[in-house]
Amino acid sequence: MDARSLYSTLALDGPPLFFPDPPAQITFNFDQGIAAQESFPIEELKELAGRVLDRDGARALEYISFGHDDATGDIIYLPSYVELVLGNTGLREELARWLGRRQGVAGLGPDNFIVTSGSVQAIALATMAFVNPGEGVLAESASFPYATRFLQMRGADLRTVDIDDQGLVIESLERRLEEFRRDGIRPKLLYLIPTFQLPTGAVLPEDRRRRLLEIAEEWDLVVLEDSIYADLRYDGEPVPSLLSLDTSGRVIQSHAFSKVMAPALRLGWMAGRPDMIEALAAVRQDLGVSQWLCRLMAAYLAEDRMDAHLESANAIYRRKRDIAVAGVLEHCGEWVDFTVPQGGFYLWLRMRDGVDWEKAQHEAVMGGVFCRPGERFTDSADSGRYLRLAFSHAPEHELRRGIEVLGAAITNAAKG
Ligand SMILES: Cc1ncc(COP(=O)(O)O)c(C=O)c1O
């Protein structure tokens, strides 16, 4: 049987999900942007997981929250079926409190949140909820491949907006919108990562954010703000989120515990106006995420542990970023250009002319170093000259040694 002959066109036609493994054993993995294992609050999570089970008993292991009469031990059936689609109410309440305070957004409550399996699910749901096949969507010209994949699989007309070292270029956004108008296509949604952009690390300045929101208003766009790296700041002052600047309720913001705590929690969310969030609930095709983990993270937030955790995690990443930057300057500095990011997990390196990048890449891989090639993020003409070095996960000694090996490979390819 040829299984592929049974595939739906959707399953057959999507852009590739997986890429071939590197051709050699990887010792220095700078490929995936993953939270550092040494930052995982294992003892706290162990203690809280047990405490939540002691406190809530079987209720923590249900699909949805039931009330409980402590005197009789009876279950009280509350109208909590909404949790099947929106997720645990307690976590949504705590997210509203934490995010509202951190981003300065007043008036948030549980109805402003849907809890999802990581933030990728939130992005996928938004795609289905707001975009019809054939409608126009916009993303930065280098972006998160899963998000652009979802948009393409939805059958949207995806066009890209130029970026510079401060993120999305407003004039380019206006040009693309005009092009849609000229082509008779309704532009519907703009997906962007305004803070510690993936892969460049750029932060969109406040004046561009304000202008972007005016344009979104003018063109009646949904703005999907991917906020996954925004709390991972190592220097500089925070810039207001799009969600906090939005006055018309057209910004929806995806976020998750994946990068700021641990990916295996698989807990993400979308925040936005309740009637915007309802659209995501309407297209959801599962029965929610783990009540137990939601209750655990609700307790974590309720006990105000998150900000302290972020501070210690950010200290780890600041050190790693500094080691990576120093290593690249010392070993590859002559051959690459990059901007030191103020946050996030990556260095976005551009090879200067004169480096045979394919040769450098091959030699680096044979030396056990793997970075993610630029063409995974962008199809711009010079994508082949870029690589993304993720510094977040590797231990410090591997970062030092691996970048030395990478430097040797680039130098050889430049001289040869
Ligand atoms: C820009 C961006 N958005 C979203 C995600 C999704 O993360 P998760 O689904 O683990 O929350 C990632 C993960 O790499 C990412 O880089």
As assigned by CATH, the class of the 21-40+308-415 domain is alpha beta
In this prediction the pTM is: 0.95
Helix-, strand-, coil-residue percentages of the chain, each rounded to 5: 45, 15, 35
Choose which CATH entry (3.30.360.10, 3.90.650.10, 3.40.640.10, 3.30.70.1350) describes domain 45-304. 3.40.640.10
Least confident of 64-78, 152-166, 363-377: 64-78
Q: How many CB atoms lie within 10 A of CB 50?
A: 11
Question: What pLDDT score does 416 carry?
Answer: 62
Best mutation site among 115, 146, 265 for ligand 1, i.e. most ligand atoms within 8 A of its Cβ?
146
Averaged pLDDT, 334-357: 93
Residue 404: phi and psi, rounded to 5, are -65, -45
Question: What pLDDT score does 45 carry?
Answer: 96
Nearest to 109 by CA among 98, 124, 117: 98
Averaged pLDDT, 310-328: 98
Domain boundaries, the chain: 21-40+308-415, 45-304
Least confident of 63-67, 92-96, 320-324, 360-364: 63-67
Question: What pLDDT score does 78 carry?
Answer: 66
More confidently predicted of 212 and 64 = 212
What distance in angstroms lies between residue 398's CA and the mean position of ligand 1's atoms? 24
Q: Encoding tokens for residue 77?
A: 């059936």
More confidently predicted of 26 and 122 = 122
In the predicted model, is pLDDT for residue 276 greater than 70? Answer: yes
Please state, for a pLDDT cut of 90, what percent of the chain lies above it: 82
- How does residue 287 score in pLDDT terms, banded at 50, 70 and 90? very high
In the predicted model, is pLDDT for residue 325 greater than 80? Answer: yes
What distance in angstroms lies between residue 53's CA and the mean position of ligand 1's atoms? 29
Q: How many CB atoms lie within 10 A of CB 79?
A: 7
Averaged pLDDT, 292-315: 97
Q: Encoding tokens for residue 189?
A: 């949604």
Give yes or no for a contact between 267 and 118, defined as CB atoms under 8 angstroms apart. yes
pLDDT digits (tens, 9 = 90+) for 385-395: 899 999 999 99
Q: Is 289 in the pocket of ligand 1 (CB under 6 A)?
A: no
Point out the ligand 1 atom lying closest to the alpha carbon of residue 143.
1
Q: Is 193 in the pocket of ligand 1 (CB under 6 A)?
A: yes
What distance in angstroms lies between residue 254's CA and the mean position of ligand 1's atoms? 9
Question: What pLDDT score does 205 carry?
Answer: 98
- How does residue 36 score in pLDDT terms, banded at 50, 70 and 90? very high
